[in-house]
Amino acid sequence: MSNTVKGVIARAKGEPVEVVDIIVPDPGPGEARVTVQACGVCHTDLHYREGGINDEFPFLLGHEAAAVVESVGDDVTNVAPGDFVVLNWRAVCGECRACRKGDVRNCFNTHNATQKMTLADGTELSPALGIGAFAEQTLVAAGQCTKVPESRPEAVGLLGCGVMAGFGAAVNTGGVTRNDSIAVFGCGGVGDAAIAGAALVGAHTIIAVDLDDTKLEWAKGFGATHTVNAGEGDPVEAIRDLTDGNGVDIVVEAVGHPEVLKQAFYARDLAGTVVQVGVPTPDMGLPDIPMIDFFGRGGALKPSWYGDCLPERDFPMLVSLYQQGRFDLDGFVSEVIGIDDVEEAFHKMERGEVLRSVVSMREGA
């Protein structure tokens, strides 16, 4: 039997979000219905509301979530009712050409639920990143449920997107390791997760770059050894000054802007690596960099999809590190809010007042 629950939708481009009744069907084969416990307010959700992803309105927003499995459909073996899970938006298919080569983190045919959730009048909803977790319950592909040790959902749910993307950009894509130097452009949730990841693995120089002094202070709390305000001078020269004139081994671009990518390109040492994890808008092009510089500086330029993670491997590991006190997921949670507060949380995010607002569905959280 389908369930009627409250959820947050974006009905049209640029309009304030609404809390409405949504219909969540019983799970079919390969699907799971989950009771959401907490969901982070990610910039991607704002992109959906603004029409920056696609125009398949209305959207059921939210995707960065922890939940408990309520029920499962036929042929589901990876989770069972009662399991505590973090939702992921890249459930690998196991069948595409990437999966057949064993490169499952680059699966080209990730799974979402087949059935549609709807409004009360039958209008089909498009769930953000195939999840739609600003809701009391949601329907996902069972492979989007990653079982982890039970923990504070407001914290561990952030692994579902921003924290995993940033941590993975530094550690998985960039390959930062002990004694490396790294600079991170953009110190929001994703950038600070890259900084935290670099600190965890033993990078010796971790340079945070942003235009906002408040964000730079936050970055210190996650392990930045130096900070650079890019509005007060050339950040490339500042990074070179901090690295004996050489630049850093790895640069993470967590902004998604051509000019910042150009700065990141020149802020690395010879044969260094640039990782772009910031999401650009569709109208942006690559920066104007002479081909001789591209060739002559060597190294690598890499986009990072979801931090090149494997949820079944990385989520439990990071929850374990959190429980050991070695990875501060609580530090990313600026405030815990209710389901009615998402629109205001978007405004706070735009003003740079929060690292992450987290919607909690738990009473007394």
One DSSP character per residue, 138-186 reads EEEEGGGEEE-----HHHHGGGGTHHHHHHHIIIIIS---TT-EEEEE-
Over range 185-206, report the average pLDDT. 98
Question: Comparing C-alpha atoms, which of 239, 247, 299 is closest to residue 272?
Answer: 299
Under 8 Å between Cβ of 157 and 86: yes
Under 8 Å between Cβ of 33 and 137: yes
* Strand order through the sheet with 268-276: 226-229, 205-210, 181-185, 248-253, 268-276, 300-303
Flag whether pLDDT at 364 surpasses 70.
no
Flag whether pLDDT at 106 surpasses 90.
no
Flag whether pLDDT at 343 surpasses 80.
yes
Q: Which residues contact 57 (CB under 8 A, 6 or more apart)?
A: 10, 11, 12, 13, 51, 126
**E strands in 48-144:** 59-60, 64-72, 84-87, 118-119, 126-127, 137-141
Flag whether pLDDT at 330 surpasses 90.
yes
Over range 283-288, report the average pLDDT. 95
Q: What token pair was written down for 159?
A: 């692994």
Over range 170-174, report the average pLDDT. 98
Over range 116-125, report the average pLDDT. 98
**CB neighbours of residue 178 within 10 Å:** 8
What is residue 92's predicted lDDT score, i.e. its pLDDT? Answer: 85
**175: region left, alpha or beta (phi > 0 left; psi from -120 to 50 alpha):** left
Q: What torsion do the CA atoms of 209, 214, 215, 217 make, to the nearest 10 degrees?
A: 80
**Helix and strand element counts for the chain (H, E):** 11, 18
Return d(Cα 199, Cα 222) in angstroms, integer: 8
* C-alpha angle 37-47-89 in degrees, rounded to nearest 5: 50
- Structure confidence by residue, pLDDT tens digits, 153-163: 999 999 999 99
Helical packing angle, 213-221 and 189-201, nearest 10°: 30
Over range 303-324, report the average pLDDT. 96
Return d(Cα 47, Cα 194) in angstroms, integer: 22
Return d(Cα 211, Cα 190) in angstroms, integer: 16
Under 8 Å between Cβ of 170 and 149: no
- Structure confidence by residue, pLDDT tens digits, 231-267: 999 999 999 999 999 999 999 999 999 999 999 999 9
What is residue 359's predicted lDDT score, i.e. its pLDDT? Answer: 98
Q: What token pair was written down for 148?
A: 């982890």
Q: What token pair was written down for 118?
A: 């709807």
> What percentage of the chain has pLDDT greater than the value 70?
99
What is residue 281's predicted lDDT score, i.e. its pLDDT? Answer: 84
DSSP-derived letter for residue 279 is: P
Residue with tokens 């640069």, as numbered in its chain: 251
Return d(Cα 289, Cα 300) in angstroms, integer: 14
Return d(Cα 101, Cα 84) in angstroms, integer: 31
Return d(Cα 111, Cα 311) in angstroms, integer: 14
How many angstroms separate the first and last alpha carbons of the chain?
A: 29
Domains of the chain as residue ranges with CATH: 3-147+334-360 (3.90.180.10), 165-305 (3.40.50.720)
What is residue 108's predicted lDDT score, i.e. its pLDDT? Answer: 86
Task: Report the mean per-residue pLDDT for the chain.
Answer: 96
Question: Comparing C-alpha atoms, which of 124, 129, 110, 151 is closest to residue 48?
Answer: 129
Under 8 Å between Cβ of 160 and 66: yes
Question: Does 99 or 321 have the greater pLDDT score?
Answer: 321
Pairing of strands 118-119, 18-24: antiparallel
Over range 112-119, report the average pLDDT. 97
> What percentage of the chain has pLDDT greater than the value 90?
92
Return d(Cα 243, Cα 234) in angstroms, integer: 15
